[in-house]
């Protein structure tokens, strides 16, 4: 049994991680932590997430001595803010913990990314270099060896899963940037009181236009510029991404279908729905699946990619990485 | 043209009041005010309520000198917190303003109500005595003469409109307390960032069980004890109240129907739907109507009463009171 | 492995049953059936319920020869209409199947119930007599021996779980009828195209006032008249029941709390939240739990009871009965 | 007073038209019609749309003799299916009615459009030629003279209002097709019982990919190919369109802003929100406004355009056309 700790356990992703670690036959949940000054410190997690009551009622402990916690843990899941993950991941890694970081702090290598998009200078370049991007279906071999996994962002997961097969197969016109429009449920904004996610203020709107940090994450990992526009929708969970891209000259629908079906022929958590199928949010909400549909007309392809932002977009993808890393059956605690 | 001022204009009720005053041919909107230390002071109201843009873009001014504002106003609408209304209504009244107070500060007479239920001692007993309860369909004659109208609470409006006809006609069994269960949209909680009204935290639950201050308001005005249980639901606007009551011996359905149909035969904004009809929230949302349906079986009556909590439950009932007080056509700016 | 068949597998309850049977380590799903003339016959269940894709893609077969199907099954789950269950349950029982019927067809004994409330004369009085009411936490010993389990209705489950402890302990005033107001998500109306459940027609309203057949089911099993008023709400899943009852003279809150905590002290799927707690729909949606909260003031008690109508209100309660009947661990395939 | 008739009054658009005609001081509502075999024939419109009760309770009459109805009407609003409008509009026009057709039957001139996209051959080419496209802010002079106005589709209205200023000013790169992704509330699907709009089946998904007939309508009127992908969302009303387009070489943000601000500087119902503003659905729901925001980065512009699909996307735009055609104040019955 691997002793597992979750930091940042009070949020929506933290609660899902808690559920999955609890359900996992080979993981032993040994600690739930929040920041030392959190108002939730001391409360049972099920006070915040009533659905967990009777399953996990462990207290949210204030995280004070990271190294001490790290000494008693094998696996650490960080559902913390980027700057927090940036600071504490190395402390856990020094204790030989395997760390799954769900923040953006170790997702993109290179000198400029963190100053440009996250507003801080990265102080742990060596860990940034070693970090493995946790896009489970695509980086399995590397994840299997990783000490530090940077779990992808939710929108980047939905976007890359749809586009990578086409880009890897050279099917896209390199000169036009794919246009990604995605709508997310409000849980993506985190568990907090703010006007923007106040019930009466939510309807549907685009935000972070030309400026959302998930766009450079997507571009960096696809090796392709994209235009990415996120939207906040009036539902709790899920992301639907609609991607419009120009195909390279002469590319046919059959080639597009082949690329997607080959990529996902034996990946149980990514369901290539088929040509002329359209992904539905309801089919993935509350599940660890990603559904991808696509259509081709003339020189354009439109793909739809649906995930649950808290699961395939965060917690269940982290669990996939744990299963890969430690050789557990790939769907354990997920399906 | 009556010069009209709205205080507490930044909230959801304030925005509806703004719209209606703007639309009213005999009211001139001369000022929108927020508390002096409000973070919204200086912003156009349409920055907070984008739907008003192009209709009313007036700034939310910090309220500093109440008497000065009162000197230039004929009518003052207070969409402020109870303690604020308690303090400033008299200052406006001293300037001979007619004041419509949408808070609870002047709704219930008697020595104990405010200490018991609002946590403060009322300092303006004389105005409390003079205040007229603004349940428009029932207190028309008094409202027509009032300087200070205490606009009823949202839940009390829905509850009283349904029960008053039966109580006035002596049709209920005095020994059993009517049971009122009501569900409200989240706008009733006000425009603010709080965990309770955060989008991802809202589903359906009862709150204020045995302790909501609207229960004594209802009881005081009906002259009848009730059990009132409010619920918060996953929608923005509206209240549906379901009321179960025991009829006095020998009372028939015909008598119940007669009482309701007589009470509301010529009140255009209260629609008595008929026996065996059930009020639907969608029929009243975004309107100033109250719909009432009822059924009788044996010695029990069940009534359903639906309103828009921001309109008939607040702003449009205030407007009804203005129309009554100044002799305007009763539906002006409402329908 | 018990060979398990689901009839009426196309609906929302059927899909949940399918998921749970598939996940159950001791059940083997050997057939999914729909009525012989169903438009869905032949389709994979995952065509209707996309979330099942990749988990269960079995076809919905037209049910033609019930006895033949029964010969190859050990356990039969009927998620069929009442008249259909009434007709086919005995045919399966004759093949020595254990039958879990999720319809109302065998829930209430006595001569008048079916003519009065379901509009048909019961033709299988002997099976009606033998049928065990599947309220899992209360009828464990009988369920363990049953060939035919009548799984309770959704509203009756929520209502009885809250009230039974108080009634069994003699804490209620027998002269006043408890008032049960419940709101259900639209999935309770079934998977069909109708104006009433059309997205744009749903808001919030009471229905079946004084006439819903769940009222006599509740009364029959509690041995107590109740007034039960269901409502349809603007969400997909869940039921919140708010129950107001008069306590017998001298009954204290401590007695009420004791009755509830004793009843549910070691029933993992019913969570007695504690005095002054209020059940939240979000804590039970998508789970097999029932949450119960309660408050006492004077001679009144108000209880709130929340379940997922498709799970504790149907499919997971059926699974609880299977686990009891066959000696499986009680939470198998549920938590 | 212009005698006004509404055909197809039972639907959601029909109900909004009814409200607005009723409120219009210069229009007299003389008849509400449905198809002769409609199940709703004979019912008061307020039976279907309870919010109208007490405002308009007129019966939905079966439409039998179109010419007879036309003889008594000055203005006819057709909220009918395309083939129905195609057939009956000429009959009304022969009676010298002014016809506002909300269907697609007269929106796009040319020989192939109706066979290709609507599945029928147009039999009224002369009326098709004379029909004026009712995009109110852009075709005012023609609408003022029109006998037959083809009110634009909902998605085309949102899309064209955003793009036309840029296309007219020659700011877009002609070689790349603007990508329009739009999400609509379910009322756009019409008032009917169908699985697709059944409450429990709605979440979020794209549909009509590469095949929605609004795409050629948009392209025909913009003179520009576009890629248009509609989505159905989990709300009742509103459309948010997010449009991504490539700017022509050297085009600056200032030019884009100028084009939009000039186009809408004095159009009260289209609000150009400003650069770096993002349209919100809540600001337009239940109003006749269109909000447009835009951002520019490098050679790309992203516009957001929000309308209420039943109002600016149908009924209030029809009313704008009536106000233009008959010289009424432009906001009459709209704001």
C-alpha Rg value of chain C to the nearest Å: 19
Nearest to C240 among B204, B240, B306 (CB): B204
Provide the Cα torsion A92, A98, A103, A104; round to 10°.
100
- Block mean pLDDT (10 aa), chain A, length 335: 98 98 98 97 98 98 98 98 97 98 96 91 96 98 98 98 98 96 98 97 98 96 97 98 98 98 97 98 98 98 98 98 98 97
The β-bridge partners of C307 are C239, C290
**CA end-to-end span of chain A:** 20
Give the DSSP letter of residue A152.
P
Asked if C186's CB is within 8 angstroms of D199's CB, the reply is: yes
**CA end-to-end span of chain B:** 20
Distance from CA of D235 to the nearest CA of C (A): 8
Tokens for B42, please give them: 């200086």
Q: Considering only CA atoms, which of C1, C97, C84 is closest in space to residue C328? A: C1
One pLDDT digit (tens) per residue for chain C, 335 residues: 999 999 999 999 999 999 999 999 999 999 999 999 999 999 999 999 999 999 999 999 999 999 999 999 999 999 999 999 999 999 999 999 999 999 999 999 988 899 999 999 999 999 999 999 999 999 999 999 999 999 999 999 999 999 999 999 999 998 999 999 999 999 999 999 999 999 999 999 999 999 999 999 999 999 999 999 999 999 999 999 999 999 999 999 999 999 999 999 999 999 999 999 999 999 999 999 999 999 999 999 999 999 999 999 999 999 999 999 999 999 999 99
Q: What is the 3-state secondary structure (H, E, C) of C66-121?
A: HHHHHHCCCEEEECCCHHHHHHHHHHHHHCCCEEEECCCCCCCCCCCHHHHHHCCC
Give the DSSP letter of residue D271.
E
Nearest CA in chain A to B188: A200
Domains parsed from chain A with CATH numbers: 2-130 (3.40.50.720), 154-309 (3.30.360.10)
Helix, strand, coil distribution of chain C in percent, nearest 5 = 35, 25, 40
Q: CA B13 to CA B79: how far, in whole Å?
A: 7
Distance from CA of A54 to the nearest CA of B (A): 20
> Measured between CB atoms, does D144 come within 8 Å of chain B?
no
- Grouping H, G, I as helix, E, B as strand and the rest as coil, residue D121 is coil
Residues 6+ apart with CB under 8 A from A298: none
Nearest CA in chain C to A331: C55
Residues 6+ apart with CB under 8 A from A202: A186, A196, A232, A233, A234, B199, D282
- Grouping H, G, I as helix, E, B as strand and the rest as coil, residue B150 is strand
Q: Considering only CA atoms, which of A228, A188, A224 is closest in space to residue A206? A: A228
Q: CA A328 to CA A325: how far, in whole Å?
A: 8
Element housing C245 (H / E): strand C239-246
The β-bridge partners of A76 are A5, A99
Give me the sign of the Cα torsion angle D90, D93, D95, D97. Answer: positive
Asked if D193's CB is within 8 angstroms of C236's CB, the reply is: no
φ and ψ of A187, to 5 deg: -60, -25
Asked if C203's CB is within 8 angstroms of B278's CB, the reply is: no
Report pLDDT digits (tens) over C58-101.
999 999 999 999 999 999 999 999 999 999 999 999 999 999 99
Q: Which DSSP string corresponds to C190-201?
A: -SS--GGGBGGG
Q: CA D317 to CA D13: how far, in whole Å?
A: 11
- Chain B residue numbers with beta carbons less than 8 Å from the beta carbon of C234 are 233-235
Nearest CA in chain A to D175: A176
Q: Considering only CA atoms, which of D246, D334, D234 is closest in space to residue D290? A: D334
Asked if B235's CB is within 8 angstroms of C179's CB, the reply is: no
Asked if A51's CB is within 8 angstroms of C287's CB, the reply is: yes
Planar angle of CA B71, B74, B76, nearest 5 degrees = 95
> Measured between CB atoms, does D54 come within 8 Å of chain B?
yes
Q: Where are the beta strands (DSSP E) in chain D?
A: 2-7, 27-35, 60-63, 75-78, 98-101, 132-133, 148-150, 179-184, 205-206, 227-232, 239-246, 270-275, 290-297, 300-307
Which residues 214-233 of C are in CB contact (within 8 Å) with B? 227, 229, 231, 233
> Measured between CB atoms, does B271 come within 8 Å of chain D?
yes
Q: CA B305 to CA B122: how far, in whole Å?
A: 32
Q: Where are the beta strands (DSSP E) in chain B?
A: 2-7, 27-35, 60-63, 75-78, 98-101, 132-133, 148-150, 179-184, 205-206, 227-232, 239-246, 270-275, 290-297, 300-307
Note the Cα B80 to chain centre separation in Å: 13
Burial class of residue D184, CB neighbours in 10 A (0-12, 13-18, 19+) = buried
Nearest CA in chain B to A199: B199
Distance from CA of C10 to the nearest CA of D (A): 13
One pLDDT digit (tens) per residue for chain B, 335 residues: 999 999 999 999 999 999 999 999 999 999 999 999 999 999 999 999 999 999 999 999 999 999 999 999 999 999 999 999 999 999 999 999 999 999 999 999 988 899 999 999 999 999 999 999 999 999 999 999 999 999 999 999 999 999 999 999 999 998 999 999 999 999 999 999 999 999 999 999 999 999 999 999 999 999 999 999 999 999 999 999 999 999 999 999 999 999 999 999 999 999 999 999 999 999 999 999 999 999 999 999 999 999 999 999 999 999 999 999 999 999 999 99
Q: CA B215 to CA C297: how far, in whole Å?
A: 13
Query: For an interface test with C, which of A54, A261, A304 has the most C Cβ atoms less than 10 Å from its Cβ?
Result: A54
> Measured between CB atoms, does A236 come within 8 Å of chain B?
yes
Report pLDDT digits (tens) over D195-218.
999 999 999 999 999 999 999 999
**CA end-to-end span of chain D:** 20
Whether the model pTM is above 0.80? yes
Tally Cβ neighbours within 10 Å of residue D81. 16
> Measured between CB atoms, does A192 come within 8 Å of chain B?
yes
Per-residue pLDDT at B111? 80
**CA end-to-end span of chain C:** 20
Give me the sign of the Cα torsion angle C172, C174, C179, C180. Answer: positive
Query: For an interface test with D, which of B50, B293, B310 has the most D Cβ atoms less than 10 Å from its Cβ?
Result: B50
Asked if A285's CB is within 8 angstroms of C54's CB, the reply is: no
Asked if A195's CB is within 8 angstroms of B199's CB, the reply is: no
Asked if D335's CB is within 8 angstroms of B289's CB, the reply is: no
Q: What ipTM was assigned to the predicted interfaces of this complex?
A: 0.97
Helix D154-168 to helix D214-222 angle (10° resolution) is 20
> Measured between CB atoms, does D209 come within 8 Å of chain A?
yes
- Chain A residue numbers with beta carbons less than 8 Å from the beta carbon of B202 are 199
Active-site residue flag, D321? no
Q: CA C135 to CA C149: how far, in whole Å?
A: 9
């Amino acid at each position: 049994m691997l002793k597992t700790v979750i930091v940042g356990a009070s949020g929506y992703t933290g609660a899902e991680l808690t559920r999955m670690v609890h359900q996992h036959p080979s993981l032993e949940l040994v600690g739930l932590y929040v920041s030392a000054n959190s108002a939730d410190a001391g409360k049972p997690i099920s006070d915040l997430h009533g659905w967990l009551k009777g399953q996990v009622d462990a207290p949210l402990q204030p995280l004070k001595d990271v190294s001490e916690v790290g000494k008693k843990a094998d696996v650490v899941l960080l559902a913390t803010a980027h700057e927090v993950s940036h600071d504490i991941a190395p402390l856990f890694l020094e204790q030989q913990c395997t760390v799954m970081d769900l923040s953006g702090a170790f997702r993109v290598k290179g000198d400029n990314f963190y100053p440009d998009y996250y507003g801080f200078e990265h102080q742990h370049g060596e860990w940034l270099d070693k970090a493995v991007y946790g896009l489970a279906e695509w980086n399995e071999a590397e994840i299997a060896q990783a000490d530090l996994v940077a779990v992808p962002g939710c929108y980047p997961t939905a976007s890359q899963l749809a586009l990578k097969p086409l880009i890897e197969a050279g099917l896209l016109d390199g000169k036009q940037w794919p246009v990604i429009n995605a709508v997310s449920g409000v849980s993506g904004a985190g568990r907090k009181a703010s006007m923007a996610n106040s019930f009466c203020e939510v309807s549907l709107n685009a935000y972070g236009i030309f400026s959302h940090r998930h766009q450079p994450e997507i571009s960096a990992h696809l090796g392709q510029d994209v235009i990415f526009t996120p939207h906040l929708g009036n539902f709790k969970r899920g992301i639907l991404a609609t991607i419009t891209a120009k195909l390279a000259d002469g590319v046919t629908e059959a080639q597009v279908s082949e690329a997607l079906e080959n990529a996902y022929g034996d990946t149980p958590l990514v369901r290539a729905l088929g040509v002329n199928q359209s992904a539905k949010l309801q089919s993935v909400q509350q599940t660890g699946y990603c559904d991808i549909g696509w259509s081709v007309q003339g020189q354009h392809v439109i793909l739809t990619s649906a995930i649950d932002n808290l699961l395939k977009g965060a917690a269940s993808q982290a669990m996939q990485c744990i299963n890969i890393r430690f050789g557990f059956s790939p769907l354990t605690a997920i399906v």
